[in-house]
Amino acid sequence: MRAGPAIELSRGQILGLWVIGILFVIGGGFYFGPVALTVPQKVAFIGKSNQGTFSGHYKTRTGEVDATVSYGGYSVAGMVDIRRPQGTFHLVGRVVNGKREFEIDRKKTEMINPTAQ
């Protein structure tokens, strides 16, 4: 006499186990997905204006921008350099209590709105 299988499952039971397994995978994706998709603390950026290059970081937690900015150069459409920049400055910008604040080379600076005068 031959021994039969230790566990016998019907087609319906096998299908039910597959459905439960798929639900666990989908549920795990929803549960662990947001952990894998968090926003980084800093986002680097680099660009070019008609006066030169700029680069720095945007701090996502505080909304602060920290950048090194070139000035005194000349480029066409921010692509082709005609004259090299003459220097750089360090710029930090942030919003505190709804008011914009700026620092240039570690000195507090105010922005004057020409339309408000």
Token pair for 107 = 């000195």
For the chain, report the end-to-end CA distance as a whole number of angstroms: 103
pTM: 0.60
Convert the pLDDT of each residue in 50-108 to its tens digit: 899 999 999 998 999 999 999 999 988 767 888 999 999 999 999 888 888 999 999 99
Say which amino acid occupies 70.
S
**C-alpha dihedral (87, 58, 104, 77), degrees to nearest 10:** 40
76 phi, psi to nearest 5 deg: -95, 120
Residue of 97, 104, 39 whose CA lies nearest to 65: 104
Convert the pLDDT of each residue in 4-33 to its tens digit: 667 788 888 889 889 999 998 888 887 777
* Residue ranges per structural domain of the chain: 9-38, 42-116
